[in-house]
Amino acid sequence: MEAIIAVSVLAITFAGVLQLFTRAISTLRNTNDTVIAEHLAQDAAEFLYAKRRYNKDVSSADDGWIDGIIGVSGCPVGATCGAETSVDVVRDLAGDFKDCATLNGCKLFIAGDGTYTHSAVGTTPTPFTRTVDFQLIDGDMTTPFALEAIVRVRWTAAGGRLERYELPITIYAK
């Protein structure tokens, strides 16, 4: 009888420790994904700042600072776009912010060198998608004064839960 009670106590203790360990692993995984999402959002924000700075340095036109960001040479007005930051070239006026339809639905992949990219060629899929939504908040496309961007990173967490991280940014012409 004492052996049965001892085994029961050990089994209950072991089950509790196992559940605690499982919960800790799940929390660690979720925290890791959240940190990655924050870095991916910050990466797009810094790329946007660099693109705007480069445009301001090379253009004297009133709308020159948004070249390759929104409009004809960038993200179409009203579209949800992706930021191809793995290219690391802000002087490309062909547009670094492109409609998600042209970037694998804005899904992110890991290249062999560890960089995140929207290209599925020779890469490994990740659970992350990164989108950028733009809106002129002051001025118009001819004379823009301020631009609001929201970088959103979404991913599927353990258990199929959909998670997201948002980073709002306001950029001014001056």
In the chain, domain spans: 2-172
pLDDT of residue 145: 87
Q: Which residues of the chain fall below pLDDT 50?
A: none
pLDDT of residue 24: 65
pLDDT of residue 39: 96
pLDDT of residue 136: 87
pLDDT of residue 62: 64
pLDDT of residue 38: 97
Query: pTM (2 decimals)?
Result: 0.81
* Strand-pair category, 97-99 with 80-83: antiparallel
φ/ψ (deg, to 5) at 37:
-60, -40
pLDDT of residue 116: 92
Both tokens of 124, joined, read: 């490994």
Q: What long-range pairs does 157-165 form, CB within 8 A, spacing at least 24?
A: 157/29, 157/30, 157/33, 157/127, 158/26, 158/29, 158/30, 159/26, 163/30, 163/33, 163/34, 163/37, 164/37, 165/34, 165/37, 165/38, 165/41
Do the Cβ atoms of 93 and 66 come closer than 8 Å? no
Q: What is the pLDDT of residues 87-130, one digit of tens each?
A: 756 565 555 788 998 889 999 999 999 989 998 999 999 999 99
Both tokens of 49, joined, read: 């700042």
